[in-house]
Amino acid sequence: MVSNPFFVDDAKVDRMAEVRIKIQSDPYQEKVRYYSWHGYWREITTSTNPGSGLLGERLVRGFFPFKAEEIVETISKEFGDGGRIQLVFEGSDDEWQELNAICSEGPYASSFDAQRGECYLSNARDVLPEIIEVFKEIQPLVDDAISERRKVSDKIAKFTDVSSDIIPLCVLGNYSAGKSTFINALIGMEILPNGDEPVTARVFQIKRSKDRDRAIIQFSFGDRHYLLRFDLDGLMVNRDFAGDPFYDDLVSKTAQAGTSMAAQMNSALKTLNSYRQSEDGRRISDLISIEVPFSDTDPWPHDREFVIFDTPGSNSASNADHARVLREAMEGLSNGLPIFVAEYSSLDSTDNKKLYQEIEQIPAIDERFAMIVVNKADSADLPKGGFDDDEIGQIMHWSIPSTFTDKAFISSHRFSVWVRRTRANS
């Protein structure tokens, strides 16, 4: 940590608040430490504060912004006595912004004063570009020096993956929950088949096309690799495959869908999904790669590359081995964001425990950042004014939210709302 020129004046603060608590966060080690003021900063430990909720594993380790409000709530319960509490924070600027927002607005604004401490950390996103450039310069020397040391080599490979600009989004959930519809809305084009029956029998890997008027679908059938190219009018026939019965049949069915990129891609994917196995034992690959233009009206950042994975339903037998396929497809990626799509009426179902266990075993997926999107909320007769705190508490203790994450996004024609364990942000 380095010194902060806007550090807290201890003597001045003593006159402002009777209770002072310091939060010291290290996002790089994912550790949080707590101190209370007794004329000096004394660390809060099991010896000094036995039974303190701040010392639970959840509030000591992990990603600070996700637990900042729970930390403030715990401090309020344990140290609040009707007066104001002075919070001193040492950590990164992004973490400080989250904490300051919690203490300056909403239910805690009247009982907390938050200030930056004399030490702080630079945000990872601010220093990472420079670190990557330095790493690229020295990597040839490092590779030569550690070629025989597998453990070091693996760690360097991991850093290369983590520092990549590729952001994987892994969409999971039961069939008919609306995963494909959700992805179609994300990219702004109806390319993925959707319906009440299982429509995704394979893992779809979707990337943003470099050209606004071009798209491709890649897959294998038996030992032959196929590449379907599309322009704005639809499928561009590839003469290299002319005379191939499988390809000719696919082209014929695709052409019946109309003359547009989206309609013909949708038809081609529906045909591939429905195909099982030829008489001679050939089958379509479990992974289908797609490149398609993303919506230019939605705020997709153009300095990042996104890869979306659409998976078979967790309660579908159409591809029982999809976890293996997904793991192989995400090889070389990291920090994957799992997005679980569910219907409001099924949030308390327990048939996704196995799916969560599978997710935990995929190195490229970071379950800490799991998100739940509640689909088809219009049919759930939700309250017009949104949820109160008791209703939010009940929702977040249902089976799926309590297993996967502490936050969910619920959308209907009446309202859209983020719900978390302790508050909702509309």
| Spacing of C-alpha 202 from chain mean position | 21
What does the pLDDT read at residue 151?
62
**Under 8 Å between Cβ of 373 and 339:** yes
User: Which domain-ending residue is among 136, 162, 188?
Assistant: 162
In this structure, are 59 and 144 located in the same domain? Answer: no
Q: Which CATH number fits the domain that encloses residue 108?
A: 3.30.420
Whole-structure pTM value? 0.62
In this structure, are 239 and 180 located in the same domain? Answer: yes
What does the pLDDT read at residue 69?
92
In this structure, are 298 and 352 located in the same domain? Answer: yes
313-349 per-residue burial string, b: 16 or more CB within 10 A, e: under 16 = bbbbebbeebbebbbebbeebbbbbbbbbbbbebbee
Contact partners, residue 191, CB within 8 Å, separation at least 6 = 184, 215, 262, 265, 266, 269, 290, 292
Domain around 385:
166-425
What does the pLDDT read at residue 329?
73
Mean pLDDT by 10 residues, the chain (426 residues): 47 58 90 94 95 93 88 93 90 90 90 88 70 72 63 61 71 78 89 67 86 92 91 89 90 91 94 80 88 78 78 58 72 75 70 66 72 70 66 67 59 50 43
In this structure, are 29 and 63 located in the same domain? Answer: yes
In this structure, are 372 and 250 located in the same domain? Answer: yes
In this structure, are 103 and 129 located in the same domain? Answer: no
In this structure, are 103 and 147 located in the same domain? Answer: no
User: Which domain-ending residue is among 61, 90, 120?
Assistant: 120
Nearest-angstrom CA–CA distance, 360 and 362? 6
In this structure, are 327 and 178 located in the same domain? Answer: yes
What does the pLDDT read at residue 114?
94
Half-sphere exposure of 324 (CA within 13 A, CB side): 5
Q: Which CATH number fits the domain that encloses residue 201?
A: 3.40.50
Nearest-angstrom CA–CA distance, 190 and 263? 7
In this structure, are 232 and 177 located in the same domain? Answer: yes
What does the pLDDT read at residue 300?
66
Closest CA to 69 of 110, 36, 102, 91: 102
What does the pLDDT read at residue 18?
75
In this structure, are 261 and 410 located in the same domain? Answer: yes
What does the pLDDT read at residue 233?
92
For residue 393 the two structure tokens come to 């508490």
In this structure, are 92 and 233 located in the same domain? Answer: no
Q: What's the total number of domains in the chain?
A: 3
What does the pLDDT read at residue 290?
94
In this structure, are 156 and 205 located in the same domain? Answer: no
Contact partners, residue 107, CB within 8 Å, separation at least 6 = 423
